[in-house]
Amino acid sequence: MWVPHATAGLAVLETGAGSDEDLLSALDRLLPRDDRWRHRHGTPGHGRDHVLPALLPPYATIPVIDGRLTLGTWQSVCLVDTNVDNPVRTVRLSLLRG
């Protein structure tokens, strides 16, 4: 999986039990939305959106067996993008046969 955007990343985690909100809270603590960033176009704090993919990469490799992603019981693939300036995102999926 690949996200061709400069402000987005992919995370594999449990959702719906608070982990997704915990991730967003952790990102807010690590990457505050304020004026410290040199990258300044867009909404205030937008520079942090461009740092996010260094922590959550824009790719994930997940094996597929019998046509299904082999995620663990509680795992989900999540697109993470805190950029409010561009609401439309693309995720590309490639399958390689081994």
CATH code where residue 60 lies:
2.60.120.460
Question: What pLDDT is stored for residue 97 in this prediction?
Answer: 77
35 token code pair:
């004026």
Q: Tell me whether residue 87 is in a domain.
A: no
Report which of 57, 72, 56, 75 is spatially closest to residue 14, judged by C-alpha positions: 75
Q: Tell me whether residue 59 is in a domain.
A: yes
State how many domains the chain has: 1
Q: Tell me whether residue 29 is in a domain.
A: yes
Arithmetic mean of pLDDT, 20-33 = 95
Question: What pLDDT is stored for residue 96 in this prediction?
Answer: 81
- CA dihedral angle for residue 82, residue 84, residue 85, residue 89, rounded to 10 degrees: 60
Question: What pLDDT is stored for residue 51 in this prediction?
Answer: 96
CA distance 61 to 87: 24
DSSP state of 64: E
Question: What pLDDT is stored for residue 67 in this prediction?
Answer: 87
Measured in residues, the chain has a length of 98
Q: Tell me whether residue 98 is in a domain.
A: no
Domain that holds residue 64: 8-81
Query: pLDDT, tens digit, for every residue of 48-84?
Result: 999 999 999 999 999 999 989 999 999 999 999 999 9
